[in-house]
Amino acid sequence: MRSIFLVLLILFCTALSGQDIVKLSFKIVNEVDRKPIVGILIRDDSAKIGDLTDEQGEISFKVPKGRYQFETYFVGYTTQYFDIDLKNDTLITILLNEGIALDEVVISELKTQIRNNIESAQSGMIEIPIKEMSKLPVFLGELDILKSIQLLPGVQSGTEASTGYYVRGGGADQNLILLDGAEIYNPSHAAGFISIFNMDMIKDATLYKGGFPAKYGGRISSILDIKTKEGNFEKWETNLGVGLVTSRVTASGPIWKNKISFLGSFRSFYSYSLFRGFSGKEKRASLPKYFFYDFNGKITWRVSERDKLFVSFYSGKDNVGFSDNSTIDSAQYDIPWSNLMAVTKWNHQFKKGLLSELSFIYTTYNFNFGFKNIYSENTLKSGIKDFRIRYDFEKKIREGQALKFGTYFSNNTFSPNITKQNFNKPLEDSTDSPPTTVNQVHLYGDYDIKINEQWSISTGLRMPVFIHPQKTYIGLEPRFLMKYQINNNVALKTSYTLMNQFVHLLSASTASTPLDLWIPSSDIVKPQKAQQVSLGYFQNFGNDKYELSVEGFYKALQNQVEYKEGANIFKDPNIDEILTFGKGWSTGAEFFIRKRVGKFNGFAGYTLGWAKRQFPELNNGRPYFAKYDRRHDMTIAINYEINKHWSFSSLFVFGTGHSITLPEGQYFVHSGQGWFGNQYGYDYGNKNSYKLRSYHRLDIGLCYKRVRKHSHSELRLDIYNVYSRLNPFFVALVQTVDPKTNKLNFKLREYSILPIVPSISFNVFFGKS
């Protein structure tokens, strides 16, 4: 609905008198049914006046005569501007086109987003401003929700341009990503450069870094709750997007007008195929093959005034294949992976105000790693099947008090590692590890109490029961959040949460790849556990135009899981036996300031953080900095609406380099058995004691929008890494031969992957504007 625009019409102005102070009134109504629209923000920045429309869609200001520049602000929509030369009492009626009639959810969001950081006891939570983010420069023309959240304080990115992220010193596997309530185990296409989330489908997203509501569980560092849009119940629309990397087509419209709607979007990666196509025949044979596609769909049925049913569907697949002909026994690799998700939800409103949501969720995630050469064929498979039923309830007891409770049951089947080693033997001689099936039952309850104007408390308890064939774990997870509001614009908040995690991602690689294995807790692998406390200062100022927050946190992690050093899943297929367990802790402070409205808007965030781990079997038992320990992390994002057609944006990010381990010395390693087995060893000092160079870059973007009667289009020019900083992607000690002495040498090489990258993209929306 990005293309929807506002038709602004001043119906009439009424002259009443010639006084110096005049009354300026607005009324905003739906163009079609003339019903008032609530919650539209109208303001003049320079005059410092502004407010939301009331239940009648009206708002009035008493202001001196003069010239005013008003803007209307709708969450997620292009800001509209108009000039008024105010000489008398004036009533302006604004007709909104049918297409932009904001539904109740959006209106509610508008109100809550502006005051939420002050009014709510919730801390550690950010409602992702998707439309604000969409104005910022994007990489290769691809707006990506996961890359957007990396810009927020307390969230660190993984490797360059990847969708992986780390929250408050936690691991990548400690982030729960929900798409319409379905758990996504691998949210990446293209080895993490692009996420599986098609922005045409996303309505909103909320990230919890701490202060987790009891509704959420199963991960210990963050929850990202992404919800998809509903289709248009009135008329059909289509949206086409062409970028350098992907192209997509989205269609939305009524199957049964005002009753059943459909929204579907198909996206495909094609540019690399084109690149291969333009390559010469010989070069083409040596290049890797790659493609991906994904499809999202959603059907929504307004069954009655009290009932709504929807079915949401996602299917996506990637495939990488390439040959390594550098050795005599040339090898062929084939690596496909896929996600499939289907969700059915029934929302029902009981007569006494009790709201319920019943969900049936099915998810599968599969990947294969195939390798073969003339001697052997290896297949490593990993997969998860996830079926769950949720039943959530919410009831407002009285003003300021709300009760939320619910339960869910899930049945998960993990096939974490099936290795087939087929050394010139028939395939049936290979061995398969049996899959593991686990069941979970979770119960939760949350009670929010507004004690008075100053104090608010939210208490919750979650009880997960995890049933593995060999072991059952029962947890109790208290959640407590408290707010003290100093005045109308300032609040202090604190929180304590305890979380358990029953699935674990094993990664022998520092890069996020589909080869990472998900395994469930077992009698050997205990659930990960995290306790987190936070304290924050929140302030709005400039008539809610600006938002400021400072939040400190401390997080203690138990039962962390890693591979033992040197473990190899091909050599040691019994995964339980090659794991090691330890603990970790992280602490930090997050600073955030945001200007939401006005022609000139944006935000800046800074995080100061430390993250450490300690494993008895790693680093000789000494504590060490986590791989993504990042001392400083900063983002400055600015958007400027030049006029109704043009907008300019810029983004600057800075981060301390990732931790790495380098050999400092060499020494003689004595076998104790005469000469045989003696060798030299490397002294690495402390694990992760070195840092890559700092990461920083500046992106800029220019956007031109054009609106026509039956279509609207957007042309974007984005430049990633304007000053072409060669940021380190990784470093490696590469063995080389000195041509003069013919001796072997090591060189420390730094690899960067993205210098300046300009991109152009074009989106067009077809539908009545």
Nearer to another protein, 122 or 419 (CB): 419
Collect all residues with Cβ–Cβ distance below 8 Å to 741 and sequence separation of at least 6: none
| CB of residue 223 to another protein, shortest distance in Å | 28
CB-CB neighbours of 239 under 10 Å: 21
| CB of residue 432 to another protein, shortest distance in Å | 16
| CB of residue 431 to another protein, shortest distance in Å | 12
| CB of residue 621 to another protein, shortest distance in Å | 9
Collect all residues with Cβ–Cβ distance below 8 Å to 646 and sequence separation of at least 6: 702, 703, 704, 705
Both tokens assigned to 335: 């690596």
Nearer to another protein, 264 or 582 (CB): 582
Q: How far is the C-alpha of 640 from the C-alpha of 662, rounded, in Å?
A: 44
| CB of residue 370 to another protein, shortest distance in Å | 11
DSSP 118: H
Beta bridge partners, 612, equal: 585, 625
Is the C-alpha dihedral spanning 687, 688, 689, 690 positive or negative? positive
| CB of residue 701 to another protein, shortest distance in Å | 23
Nearer to another protein, 467 or 511 (CB): 511
Classified as helix, coil or strand, 738 is coil
Hey, which bits of 174-306 come out as E strands? 175-179, 182-183, 188-189, 194-195, 202-208, 222-228, 237-242, 246-256, 260-269, 289-302
Is the C-alpha dihedral spanning 611, 617, 622, 624 positive or negative? negative
Whether the Cβ atoms of residue 433 and residue 573 lie closer than 8 Å to each other: yes
Collect all residues with Cβ–Cβ distance below 8 Å to 351 and sequence separation of at least 6: none
Nearer to another protein, 65 or 372 (CB): 372
Type of residue at 372: K
| CB of residue 668 to another protein, shortest distance in Å | 5
DSSP 277: H
| CB of residue 274 to another protein, shortest distance in Å | 15
Single out the residue of 519, 517, 514 nearest to residue 316, CA to CA: 514
| CB of residue 169 to another protein, shortest distance in Å | 18
Helix (H) or strand (E) holding 766: strand 757-766
Single out the residue of 604, 728, 605 nearest to residue 657, CA to CA: 728
Nearer to another protein, 287 or 303 (CB): 287
β-pairing, 730-737 vs 665-669, is unpaired
Q: How far is the C-alpha of 376 from the C-alpha of 10, rounded, in Å?
A: 77
| CB of residue 299 to another protein, shortest distance in Å | 39
Residue 153 sits at φ, ψ, to 5 deg, of -65, 145
| CB of residue 320 to another protein, shortest distance in Å | 8
Both tokens assigned to 307: 């009932």
Q: Is 555 exposed, middle or buried (0-12, 13-18, 19+ CB in 10 A)?
A: buried
Nearer to another protein, 478 or 681 (CB): 681
Nearer to another protein, 352 or 743 (CB): 743
Nearer to another protein, 126 or 719 (CB): 719
| CB of residue 666 to another protein, shortest distance in Å | 6
Nearer to another protein, 52 or 567 (CB): 567
Q: How far is the C-alpha of 290 from the C-alpha of 190, rounded, in Å?
A: 8
Nearer to another protein, 246 or 727 (CB): 727
Both tokens assigned to 482: 């408290």
Helix (H) or strand (E) holding 134: helix 130-134
| CB of residue 583 to another protein, shortest distance in Å | 18
Q: How far is the C-alpha of 142 from the C-alpha of 328, rounded, in Å?
A: 41
Q: How far is the C-alpha of 696 from the C-alpha of 636, rounded, in Å?
A: 11
Nearer to another protein, 436 or 539 (CB): 436
Alpha-carbon Rg of the chain, whole angstroms?
28
| CB of residue 369 to another protein, shortest distance in Å | 7
Nearer to another protein, 564 or 595 (CB): 564
Residue 145 sits at φ, ψ, to 5 deg, of -65, -40
| CB of residue 339 to another protein, shortest distance in Å | 20
Q: How far is the C-alpha of 723 from the C-alpha of 192, rounded, in Å?
A: 24
Nearer to another protein, 5 or 729 (CB): 729
Nearer to another protein, 116 or 614 (CB): 614
Nearer to another protein, 91 or 567 (CB): 567
Whether the Cβ atoms of residue 229 and residue 310 lie closer than 8 Å to each other: no
The number of CA neighbours under 13 Å toward the Cβ of 220 is 30
Whether the Cβ atoms of residue 690 and residue 661 lie closer than 8 Å to each other: yes
